[in-house]
């Protein structure tokens, strides 16, 4: 039986409203580093594999646990956060109102195939990555895998898992955004998954170890 833990990264500057220059290169706040250190301190077993996304914040969150278990192999998978906004969205000359307007324009289109520009992805691609992740888990031989990922990607995994696949439509996109917002996945919370007899089972997000959620 394969078990996996889908762990959200620690707190980042973007999580507390600070401007960032792109989707993937920024790291953790002081609080985010504390969360990563605490996660490594309370983790109760040696995994068989570490997985991170290509984004810096997952690598930094995983590092304290990787330091604790230095012989455990590490792989990078395409489990990064949903990145619908192109490079120009992060331009420093944009005002916050202009950034909000760009977001609103994107969401109002409700076009799952639309790509806003360079270094952006469509909604379809997000769901395909989630589906690929679930398929990949079913091919692994490791018994226990720690996967450091992101909140919206984790919600996409839930969505594909609950719906048994990916339906590419404007209605799906609209329903997903409604599903996403009231579904909290705090920094360094995790979802526990099991692969049993060819079927995947997912827990609700686990927050017992987080001081602010006790």
Q: Which CATH number do you get for residue 14?
A: 3.40.50.1240
Q: How many domains does the chain have?
A: 1
What is the Cα–Cα distance from 124 to 120, expressed in whole angstroms? Answer: 12
Read off the pLDDT of residues 13-46 as tens digits, 9 standing for 90 and up: 999 988 888 899 999 999 999 999 999 999 999 9
Please list, residue by residue across 40-67, b when 16 or more beta carbons sit within 10 angstroms of its beta carbon and e when fewer do. beebeeebbbbbbbebbbbbbbbbbbbe
Read off the pLDDT of residues 58-111 as tens digits, 9 standing for 90 and up: 999 999 999 999 999 999 999 999 998 888 888 887 887 888 888 888 888 889
Spatial CB neighbours of 150, under 8 Å, sequence gap ≥ 6: 8, 9, 53, 55, 58, 79, 80, 81, 82
Determine the structural domain holding residue 137 and report its residue range: 2-213
Spatial CB neighbours of 48, under 8 Å, sequence gap ≥ 6: 72, 142, 143, 144, 145
* pLDDT reported for residue 179: 86
* pLDDT reported for residue 108: 82
């Amino acid at each position: 039986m394969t078990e996996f833990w889908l762990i959200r990264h620690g707190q980042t500057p973007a999580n507390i409203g600070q401007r960032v220059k792109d989707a993937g290169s920024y790291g953790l706040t002081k609080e985010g580093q504390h969360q990563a250190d605490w996660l490594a301190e309370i983790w109760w077993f040696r995994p068989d594999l570490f997985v991170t996304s290509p984004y810096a914040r997952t690598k930094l969150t995983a590092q304290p646990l990787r330091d604790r278990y230095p012989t455990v192999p590490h792989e990078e998978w395409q489990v990064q956060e949903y990145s619908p906004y192109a490079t120009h969205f992060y331009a420093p000359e944009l005002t916050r109102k202009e950034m909000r307007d760009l977001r609103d324009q994107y969401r109002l289109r409700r076009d799952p195939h639309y790509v806003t520009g360079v270094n952006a992805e469509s909604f379809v691609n997000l769901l395909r990555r989630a589906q690929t992740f679930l398929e990949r888990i079913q091919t692994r031989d490791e018994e226990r895998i720690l996967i450091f990922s992101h909140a919206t990607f984790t919600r996409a995994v839930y969505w594909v898992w609950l719906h048994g696949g990916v339906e590419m439509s404007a209605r799906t996109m609209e329903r997903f955004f409604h599903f996403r917002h009231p579904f909290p996945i705090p920094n360094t919370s995790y979802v526990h998954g099991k692969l049993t007899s060819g079927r995947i089972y997912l827990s609700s997000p686990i927050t017992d170890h987080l001081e602010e959620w006790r």
